Structures are given as structure tokens and as C-alpha cells.
Amino acid sequence: MPLQFAYSNQDFVTDVHRTGGNIPVTASPPSKFDATIKAGWTDRMNRGLFRYHLGDLETIVLPGTHGYVAQLNIQRGTERRKPQEILSIHQEFSAKQFNFNKVNPDEIIFDMKKDSVGANEKGHVVEPCRMVVLINVSPLEFGHCLFVPDPSCCFPQVLTTFAIQAAIESVLLSSDPGYRMGFNSLGAFASVNHLHLHGYYLDQELKIESMPVKALVPEKGFYLFLDFPGGFLFYTESQAVEEVARAICQVTDFLVDGNIAHNLFLTRGCPPCDRTQNKKDHLSRKGVRIALWPRISCFGAKEESAFNVALCELAGHLPFKNQKDYELTTEKDVMGIIQRYLLPGAEFHTLEQQLTHHLIDV
């Protein structure tokens, strides 16, 4: 039987902050969530359950205004499982293909459940749902795990309110500002069509944690990035997680209905603001920033030689597949690669208006 990890809202860590630069500051002692993941992940690494041994990755911050964090991770590019053939954002789950019901049980670190029974909007009692946390055997970084909502339900890779709420709550359970989570839709470099999110630790500050935004529907936590390639931002603190999770799914459901692929990235971040904030607010990490990028779909597309453009790359974390590209790629090169996968300006602007009206109307 996997370890059982139960939590409640009282376990959320709200005093996380940074000192500036790339030195993360964590609450002391580490949270129960962090300790459980790190111990379980390290144990599986020591037992040889990964496809390769992940040591300290060679890391640099590319010169330029975006602060891209480049890492050399050759083995992930060569040793990871071959991605499934994805033909549609609406592709149904297939039991014949690899899915997370087929993993080695030893790869599971714990079953995660919220330790409370609530009521939905109609007053019906809702039992806590199960989230299985297992190692990603081809890790991006330390602690790289997959979060799979009840694998036996065989959900396709389409985001649900429970999945995104559990992801936000997982970030709030961590006392480490370097803990991140993310989601790739089908057509956005999701490699397995079985609902899952990624979680991992990156001890480097990303610009996305504090980048200025424009308010679109602030009452639902919805904003637009001002100085970062075409993306939206949701923001929430511990008291508004359920409402923001519903709003995020209203947007991702709209995108799925419109056959628009998308990536999400969740990280501790400072409160949204349209300008550079004072030092105290700028370094606050008590809330969660959820970045969302609608993008051009990639079905059976040839992969980039340097890095694929998925959840972490759009957020500024670049796992390079080879030494040459790692050493020679500039910020300008990175922006050129990323731009090829984002929606053209006019199409993105139209979508911005549609999503704004959609969130106001629902």
C-alpha cells in the first residue's frame, strides 16, 4: 500500500518569500509535503528506479532581460519514453497505450487526499478525491513527480477543476519558493494521454514570479502578462483557491472547445501589479501564480534540437538536450524558438477579448 498523505487548509504555508537573486528562502523546518516528496524521490533514485541518475545539472542564466534559466539535461532528451502519437486535443483515453495504471507500484511515493469533506454549490456532500504522486522516471530536475488524479478513472489529458485545485494546493503546501507545477495539454507536448500534472524543484528565480501584469478580470484572478511572450496569468492566495481553480477550468474548457492547445505553469509568486513593486511586495511569495499560454498545436511535429517548447520552457526554464545548443544559444535565439509556438498577435488579442467576456459572463 502506498503511503497516505492527508492535508487540510491549515497545512498551507503563507510566509514564503525571497531575499532577491537566486537564493531561495524556505520556512524552517521544511513542510511535511516537501519532506515527504524529497525523501520518497531520493529513495527511488537510490533504488535505481529512474531511467538515469540525475546529479547536479549544469546551469546558467542567459544574459538578457528575460533571465532564462538554461540547464544541460542530455539524458532526458535521449532516455525518456517515446511520446504517444497524439492526433487531437479531444483524443480519447486508450487502455492499449501506456498509462499510469501500468507503472511499477514502487514508483508511487504517496496517495494524496484533502483531509476534509466539503459540500458543493448545490449542498451535496463531496468526498475527497485521490491524487496519486509518483516519480517521473525521466526527470527534469530534483523531485520531478507526476500528479495523477485517481488513475483508475482513466481521464484523458484534459484539465479538471479537481486537478488544478489540487495542483494549486500542492504549491501552497510547499515552503520552498523553488517548487513548481505544470500541465501540458494534448498538442502542447503532453506525451501521455492520461490526466497528469508535473511537479518539481528549481532553485532559481524566474522572472515570471514577479513580472508585471494587466488586470483583465481581477475579481476572478485573471490577468495578462505585459512583458513576457503571449500568456495570461491567474493569481490566488490560500483563501480563494476554489474560485480561481473554477475560473481556470472555465478558460481551459473554452480552449479545448476551440481546439487550442495550451500549457500551464504554477509557481509561488508576488501579488499581481502593473508595475515594478516595492521591495517587500516584490519578494513576497505567499500566493500562487498560474501562467497559461494558448499556443499553436503540435501533432506529430518534429522536435526542436535545442529544447521542446512546453510548460517549463515557456516559464523561462530551459532544459537543453545537447552541449552545443546549451553553450551557444542566446536569449534572442530562445525568444525566436518560443515565438514559433505561440499564437500570432491578432489571434491572441481576439482570444484575450473572448476569454475576458467568457469569464465575466459565466
Residue 334 CA: distances (Å) to CA of 123, 236, 309, 348: 49, 29, 10, 20
Q: Assign residue 67 a region (left: φ > 0; alpha: ψ between -120 and 50; beta: otherwise).
A: left
CB count within 10 Å of CB 51 equals: 16
Residue 346 CA to chain centroid, in angstroms? 26
Q: So which residues are the catalytic ones?
A: 196
Q: How many CB atoms lie within 10 A of CB 306?
A: 22
β-strand 3-7 against 108-114: which pairing, if any? parallel
Secondary structure string (H, E, C) spanning 72-99: ECHHHHHHCCCCCCCCCCCCCCCCCCCC
CB 187 within 8 A of CB 298: yes
Residue 87 dihedral angles phi and psi, to the nearest 5°: -115, -15
- In angstroms, the CA 35 to CA 4 distance is 14
Q: End-to-end alpha-carbon separation of the chain, Å?
A: 42
261-269 and 3-7 beta bridge pairing? unpaired
Question: How far apart are alpha carbons 6 and 112 in whole angstroms?
Answer: 6
Q: Within 13 A of 185's CA, how many CA atoms are on the CB side?
A: 28
Cβ–Cβ under 8 Å, residues 292 and 230:
no
Tell me the one-letter amino acid at 191: S
Q: What is the CA radius of gyration of the chain?
A: 19
